[in-house]
Structure 1
Amino acid sequence: MNCTWHRGRHPLIATNYTLYLMKQQQAHSKTKYPVLEEQMVSVKRSALIKSMLYLVWVEAENQLGKAVSENLTVNIDKIVMLDTPVITSFTVGENDVEVMWNIPNADQQHNGITCQVRYRKYGIAEWINLNEDAIGNQYCGLEELEAFTEYECEVRCISRTGDGLWSDWSHPLIFRSHEDAPNGTLDAWWYFQPTNSSERQELVVLWKTLKPEEARGQITNYKIQWKQGTLLDTKYLNKCCSVVLPWDTIFVNITAITAKGSTKPALLSTQLSGHLPFKMLTVVYYDGRYLKVSWPAYDNDNIRQLLVEWQKAVAEVAVPPKWTRIPPSSNSILLEDSFEKFVPYRISVYALFENGSCESLINDLVYAKQGVPSVAPSILTLIQVGSVVQIVWTEIPLELQHGFITNYNVYLCSVAPKAKVQTFKYGVRNVTMNIDPGEYEICISASTAEGEGNVSAAVRFKVHVPETDHIVLVVIISVVVILLFIFIIILLLKCRKNIHDWCLKHLPVWCCQQVPAPRCDHVQFPETLFLTSEDGCLNEEPAIVSIEEIEETPQPETMVSQNSDMFEEDYRSIQDSGSSLLFSDSENSGISTRQMSAECAPPAPFSSGYEKHFMPVDI
């Protein structure tokens, strides 16, 4: 027998409680049960007698005194509560579930027992009470359950005799109902991810696990069909929920298969169309895990639904994107995820059509909450020409920006305290300044909507007095000299003949005389002067067989001279005309006998003129 009480106002100091149990009209049978700071006492059944009346009261005592409650008269027969039932087993049939239980010590306590059964879908607050006609002493049948759905069931009992109390509800039994053919479609999506071995990306297809009320059975495998060009291929997987396909896949079909049937195929097209406008999303951050995203309405009656995709823009390990689907008329959504502060997320919105094709509507970079940059830009180069200084700095890595950079701040530090020179908007990572001579330190910082970040390390440089301008002057003079030299070369080439003529008049002959190379001298000789072979080569000089002395009649000197001059003159005429020297009787019919004898004489030595001018001669 469990006895409980309310202690009333808290005494604020240590208080001892004592429960007294006494049979009515038997003062000597009083039993006490002391407790400390508790409000319940359990009395064993062996200490009680059936059909006996008992008086029960509680005394409280502490340093301030003692208090006693009113007496309560208890009839043991009217407060009997059966032990809590224990569900022992259940059996899932085609259309129902049979549940069985037992009650500890039920036979010893009461012969007649009435039980009550209640059940509900797992996770639902409202219970359904089973009709008493379907309940026996130790079993019941649950019907009209939804296929492949988790339910929980509890049982309690009461004695049919006396004014007993209902037992406690049993420990809940959680079970899953019978299977049936699936009636849902897989929620699938895809993305490209880079590979280490090739410049091409690989296609990754993802899908979510079907809800039990959609699967209505245990999924045994998944059927994946894809098309590459005109090639259609199929594979089966026994695990969820991704597959890697060739990068040039055009479309994909995915089907979930159970023992009772299969789902409708989920159609995916990897051919995106449309444009990607940026900076069109409005973001509101709630409670550290909700992100409300809004965008302009997109009017198109052919859209089946919209798909919203999000993932971290920068991650040490590649993380697949998450997505959800919404009605086509929606222009906002409340995303629930562990969105981190200062981390950039890429959010995209796609329009999906009945044929499986999709169109990209929005692709934007957002922050759940912005902060100031954690690092400063690094100065890349500092170029100085005279008093003009150009500074170029690097962009802060995206994961360290902690927000959208609105502007860069350039500071020029000299003897005076640090002073801001100019502020440049985001995207401008260089600046040119005209600075007075002196020694300076320059540093840079970046700002977001939340404020300015850290300042970079200072870079010191000097701007010298204008004497350094001689560098520019040297460059200009060098350019002028080069141009002048080129002009003189061109002028000499154009006036070469005039210059040569002038030199011939005013300079010694040997300064301007050109000696031709003998290998370039092409002198034509009469064919009669040489004996040639059939192949055009000169014959070797014939060998001398015998020598005979012949007296030759001397000829007048004038005749020989005249004939020599004539021979040379005829040779020159032949050389000028480019023809060979020919002789015939008709042509020489008018020549005198002396002339013929002279012509038959051996020819005088031939001179080309080359030796006359350029070879040494006897004087």
Structure 2
Amino acid sequence: MNHLATIFRCTILVFFLQYLLTTFDHRFIPLGELTVEPASPVLLGSSLTIYCSIQKFQHLNEWFDILLELNGETVNKWNRVNQTTMTFTVPSVRRPKSTALCKLKTDRWPQVVGELQIQAGLPPDRPKNIICLTTRSSEAVNCSWSKGQQTHITTYYNVTISRSNWTQVHSDVIQDSGEVSIGKGLLDVNTTYMLTITGYNQLGESAQSDPFPFCLQDIVIPETPKITRVEFERDSTAVMLLWKTAEFSEDLRPYIRLRTHNETWLDAEGVGIHQNLTEVENIRPLTEYEFQLKTCMITLFVKHIYTTSCTNRTNTSEMCVCSRWSSSEWKTSPGKGPSQQLDVWRTFSGTGTNGRKEVTVLWKPLPAEAYSGELQLYKISWTTEQNQEVSCSPAVLQCSLQLSAEVQALNISAVTSCGMSPPVKLSLRLSGVTAPALGDLTSAGNDDTILVSWSQLENKQQSELLYYVIEWISQPDARLQWKKLDKDLQNTSITGLTVGVRYKVYLYAVTTGGVSNPSSRLVYSNEKKPVSGPSVSVLVHVERRMQIQWDELPLEERRGFITHYTIYFHTLGSSSTEAKVSVPESGQRKMWLDCPGGTLVLQMTASNSAGEGPPGKRISSQPATSPDLVIVLVFIITVFIAIIANLMCCSCVRKRIKQSCMSWGPSWLVENMPKLGHSKAIQLLKLESEPLYTSIQYDPPLSPITVISQDESDQVYPMIQIDVSQTESGGPTAGEPSVGSDTWPPFDSQQNHCSYKPQNATLAHQEGLKNSSTNADGLIGQSNIVEDFIDFPAGLSCDFHREPVCAEGSKENVLGDRVIQERRLFEEEEESALNTVETRTTNTMETLDVSGIALNGGYFPQVTFPVSKH
């Protein structure tokens, strides 16, 4: 598919090129001719008429549309003569050579009828400034003249030489030239001749020139010299020309002219070194020059035809006869090496390793006109036990060195492709002399310039002053600038400063004994308002008096020398006028301030000569409490805490507090609740397993049983009656329990939740438990225990299967301290005997129906009372 597309494109291109070639051939086949009146050449600026006629077309009886182009521009002024001929009028011919092209308009493309070249020109001017010269060795006399304006067509000059009686001696025709040579054999030495010239061409003839009279001995000039060698010396700023001539040259004086790139000739003042050797100064480096030289001699023969004033001599009355200019010599001057020393300076950065001093050498770049070629490097050299040197890149203007203490001077040079600058010596030694004191530094009217002045140097060491160096360093960025000053100066200007930036100015005096200690001043070229205000803080604030402190503004935010600060303050929420206090800048940034009472709002501004800056951060402060009152409050609180701490150390006080908490607070506050996490039943339920026959599952241990008297029981355990409603089966009431029955009387159907489920048993089972306990390793046995059943208070119930929620009718259930203490004493003993008791209790509970039993409380300890004999 791609090949077919390529073939198709090539076919289209071939047909298109064939069409273009066919059209091109038809276009440039002449169909007629062009004629012009007047005939060429024509006078420049004159009008002419061009005829265009069609002669080679198929249908000559048709009317043709013809146009004419002259130098690419269509001629609009035309006239139709007949069907095949038209005339075109050109009002003015402005070019020496023009092209006229006649075209026939067709449907496809304009076709060329004919083409004609038209020549235009001017008649010659009258020849002027005729001069004829010859030399002693020449065989001909060379005459030249000024032709005037250019004619643009072939012009002939008729040269005629006649004697003074107008007898013609020689005639010659010269074509398009302004010079002619006449052999000396045709002329007599002492005869005066007249030379006339006439010019002519197809457009006209010039007037005859004025006759030029000459005698052969009056037109002799020195021989034309020849430059034999051109040499550049003194770093290409001077050129030496060596020349020669065919005649004795002792009386000849050379004159030289030069130019570059066909520019105007410049006459150069030549200095004769010796015979035939001339020096020309002020030559630019790396420039191609064209040199010409001529020789002149002083003549007293004023009537000499070719005499000129010796303009480069002091005596202007002298006239010189000079030779023609020699043929040109071209020479390119070499590069110019730097001839002046660098301006150098140094700064010390401290002491480096091994006690060596760190020195930074600074230099100014050489001006571009001081050298030519390429700057290659800067060379720093010094002498200790041997010569050492360091090369620095040409792109930098400083170089850091570590030098030993014995090095007292450095030599710095710039190296270019055309040479090296003379080395300059930089002293590293301190003279101990103090530099002149700097005067007032004032602005020069510009924002970037200041004027610096200083007094005369007092040199007590009688060392010679070499020069001054002035430094200025911007702060805080510490950018160093400097310049070297002449020793006779006592003032200078510093330019390129930035408004609102502080500078520190140093002045050094460099003498033959070393460098002096500097004198310095701080200065702004022009000040601006501060950028911000100081941050203020309150140190002490008492009623109607406060001590404040503020921070110093950063240097870049001052933008001038701070003259004073202004403190603004007012009472918070007050509509009174804001008060202000002005504080002069004295370096101390702390003060006491008298102020109104209450909470104060204050802020601060800084001012310089340019004005007051914006305020700083606003803060608020309220007066502090009196220190005497604070001390009293702290003392009272400390005494109270000490008393409470002492009381807490007394056991009786702790007991009273505990009893008060028990009587005032809820019952659960002092109860020792069992921990459900210790229940074996719960653990087995979580593990979903049955107890082994050898394992003994038991509830929390029973509390110890204590025998108390009837009087004590009335105080500790008041008699509580339990009203139990009759069950559906008609069982006995709570007041008439059946001791021998195997089932527990049913409780009220209203039950509350209780998390603890005690092992409930009938009285008979309790008696059995008593007997078993009596025989259980003497744990509870050996005691004369008469047990009785503890009645549940009326309205107090607990559901063994739900969480404990006590009913509203519950009464006080508080155990005495004695029972609680004794219970704690027997808990450890119960743990050891619990296995035996738990086994029998479990067997007894298997026959009990406790689904309806409920307790209105948490845990009730097992307590027995003596049974009265009835």
Q: TM-score range by the shorter chain?
A: 0.3 to 0.5
> Structure 1-normalised TM-score?
0.48
TM-score scaled by structure 2?
0.35
Larger-Rg structure: 2
